Structure 1
Amino acid sequence: MLQNVIDFCNYWWFRYLMVTELYMVEKWERVTIHVIFAILFCLFWYFNYSVLLSFTGSVLGITPISSVVDQHGSKIV
Structure 2
Amino acid sequence: MKYIIIILGIGWLLGQLIRYFLRSKLARFAQQVNEAAREQQRAQQRPSNGDINVDHIPRQHQQRRQKDIKGGEYVDYEEVKD
Task: Report the TM range for the smaller structure's normalisation.
Answer: 0.3 to 0.5
The alignment's TM-score, normalised by the length of structure 2, stands at 0.39
User: Larger Rg: 1 or 2?
Assistant: 2
Bigger helix fraction? 1
